Chain A
């Protein structure tokens, strides 16, 4: 079946450094790629997303890049802060059948980011 691989599984950086998380996907029909941040015991929350007609998107300290040919996309966090510590999930859209109406995401297994003060 389709899958999304996410690396690394854990990432430790010093406050102020940059962090990069990479994902690869298998479904060539995927065209929407959100990133979620999940703090301990909380719900996943969308932090940034990118669509297949865009190669890069930025929102303050967060950016996402997409290479559709290579089927990989990455999350970049600059000037990391202790409050960035959380688990980050990438996801790729998939169509589940039912005449194309069924739609959801395949999620990566997550990256635990620790930002040390």
Chain B
């Protein structure tokens, strides 16, 4: 039981490049989330999903897109990376409402 797995762990991009971050969970959780963590800012919700085939915007969605084609996977895409998107990205999942979120190990993304 691996829990929540994120790939890649580190990545450096140039401004304007695109990439996809992958999150996979093996706990059969319905809810999945993408957060970004910046120094002094805590965790901010980018996008979330309440089930396979559904996605919705969180607090800071601009510049990101997501897809949840399979229940166990939640993809975060950056179409045209900007330096302001340099951050640590965490994926999380939860079984249902008012249940704790389980986090992945994070992806450290630097955009030059």
Q: A108 touching B50 by the CB < 8 A rule?
A: no
Q: Report whether A107 and B43 are in contact in the complex, using a CB–CB cutoff of 8 Å.
A: yes
- Judge if A109 is at the interface, Cβ distance under 8 Å: yes
Structural contact, B56 and A98, CB atoms closer than 8 A: yes
How far is it, in angstroms, between the C-alpha of A99 and the C-alpha of B24 when the chains are bound?
26
Closest A residue to B98 by beta carbon equals A32
**Chain A residues with Cβ under 8 A from B94's Cβ?**
103
B81 → A minimal CB distance (Å) = 23
Query: Are A103 and B103 CB-contacts (below 8 A) given A44-B90, A98-B56, A109-B40?
Result: no
Q: Are A103 and B106 in contact (CB under 8 A)?
A: no
CB of A60 closer than 8 Å to a CB of B: no
Number of inter-chain CB pairs below 8 Å: 59
A96 and B58 form a contact (CB under 8 A):
yes
What string of 1s and 0s marks CB contacts (under 8 Å) between A32-48 and chain B?
10100000001111100
Instruction: Let me know if A93 is at the binding interface, CB within 8 A.
Output: yes
A-facing residues in B31-83 (Cβ within 8 Å): 31, 33, 40-45, 48, 50, 56, 58-59
Give 1 or 0 for each of A99-110: 1 = CB within 8 Å of chain B CB: 001111101111
A101 and B50 in contact (CB under 8 A), knowing A44-B43, A96-B58? Answer: yes
**Partner-A contacts on B (CB < 8 A):** 31, 33, 40-45, 48, 50, 56, 58-59, 90, 94, 97-98, 100-106
